[in-house]
Amino acid sequence: MELNQPIKPINLRPIQTQTSAKLTAPEMAKLWATYVGNSMSNKILQYFLQHVEDDLIKTLVENAFYLTEDFMRRIEQILNKDNFPIPKGFTKDDVNLKAPRLFEEEFYVHYIKYAAKAGMSIYGVALPIVLREDIRDFVIYCNSCTIALLTQINDILMTKGLIIKPPILPIPDKVDFVKDQSFLHGFMGKVRPLHALEVTHLYDNIENNVTSKALILAFSQVARNEKVKQLFIRGTEITDRAVSSYKEKLHKDNLPSPSLLDHLVTESKIAPFSDKLMLFHKVDMFSMKIRAFGNSVAVNGRRDISLLYARSLKSIALFVDDGANILIENGWMEQPPQAADREDLL
């Protein structure tokens, strides 16, 4: 067996994996979410393309834009075959391509990384639970394309010096084991330095949040609906507190952290996107933070950091709930596929 192919093939094709099989709930859900999310990103990237001059960044934005088009087209083919209605998602009515520049183009690189990481979380969850061969192949395709895009993003960030490299820790002298309960301390007694997994997730959460903060700051600047604007202002404050508290943990151990990106938002007050798109975007991405906190808590060992994530989780859950209420009030929330209401059928 070749070294680069360590898994032996198994030639099976259960009935449940055949393309004639009915869509399962996970397959419906992930196709629906991927379509709606990419229709939103498609409009944002289309706007970015109106205001990009750097050749490398322009190519990156074009690549991301074409991926959204490709993913939506492939989903439409699958759904049409199953007589499943195509989600509405977002349309040309949700973007104003004539709006002036709202972000400096450096922000586009950070934004695409932020969005691509969110996409990876969808595909990672989908892959173990989708069964039908064509949908499984589609999810693998989405994952592979997004990995390639993230590689380009990181290369550009490093080449242009737009990223602070994640912290470097000393290499251990030997394998060691935790010897007492002080390993879990965070408030009293001797508090150990952060371990590598804690550093990783603090850094990642800061990286996500500095992009999120700049984005929601821009959205609060151009939103027209007063309830939406006030929610965005609240979201900016929530994100700012989170960034400060996460940075404090790294800086206490003399470790670097990603810088704020607020300076990449211009002074424009003309909205390039509909309030519907902007609110959906922030509700969706704040929801993604909840998943990120779950991953962070799962590998955390210190009680002070667990409490930090718990506080962030509470604020974000309330933001998502209030945002969902505004979406519903305005008729902006598209309903995902749902189970049959058996009581209504009686």
* Token pair belonging to 255: 């470790």
Whether residue 62 contacts residue 112, with contact meaning beta carbons closer than 8 Å, is answered with no
Whether residue 208 contacts residue 117, with contact meaning beta carbons closer than 8 Å, is answered with yes
When the pLDDT of each residue in the chain is averaged and rounded to a whole number, the result is 93
The average pLDDT across 68-92 equals: 96
Place of tokens 């349309």: 91
Whether pLDDT at 46 is above 70:
yes
Whether residue 203 contacts residue 258, with contact meaning beta carbons closer than 8 Å, is answered with yes
pLDDT of residue 136: 95
Whether residue 45 contacts residue 64, with contact meaning beta carbons closer than 8 Å, is answered with yes
Whether pLDDT at 248 is above 90:
yes
Taking the C-alpha atoms of 26, 68, 37 and 48 in order, what is their torsion angle to the nearest 10 degrees? 170
pLDDT of residue 299: 86
At 217, phi and psi to the nearest 5? -60, -45
In which band, very low, low, confident or very high, does the pLDDT at 21 lie, cut at 50, 70 and 90?
A: confident
- In angstroms, the CA 186 to CA 67 distance is 44
Each residue of 127-157: pLDDT tens digit? Answer: 999 999 999 999 999 999 999 999 999 999 9
Each residue of 272-315: pLDDT tens digit? Answer: 999 999 999 999 999 888 888 888 888 888 999 999 999 999 99
Whether pLDDT at 4 is above 80:
no
In which band, very low, low, confident or very high, does the pLDDT at 13 lie, cut at 50, 70 and 90?
A: low
pLDDT of residue 1: 42
What three-state secondary structure class fits 53? coil
In which band, very low, low, confident or very high, does the pLDDT at 74 lie, cut at 50, 70 and 90?
A: very high
- In angstroms, the CA 271 to CA 218 distance is 9
- In angstroms, the CA 2 to CA 345 distance is 57
Each residue of 173-189: pLDDT tens digit? Answer: 999 999 888 888 888 77
- In angstroms, the CA 28 to CA 338 distance is 9
The average pLDDT across 62-84 equals: 97
The average pLDDT across 91-97 equals: 97
The pTM of the full predicted model, rounded to 2 decimals, is 0.92
In which band, very low, low, confident or very high, does the pLDDT at 15 lie, cut at 50, 70 and 90?
A: low
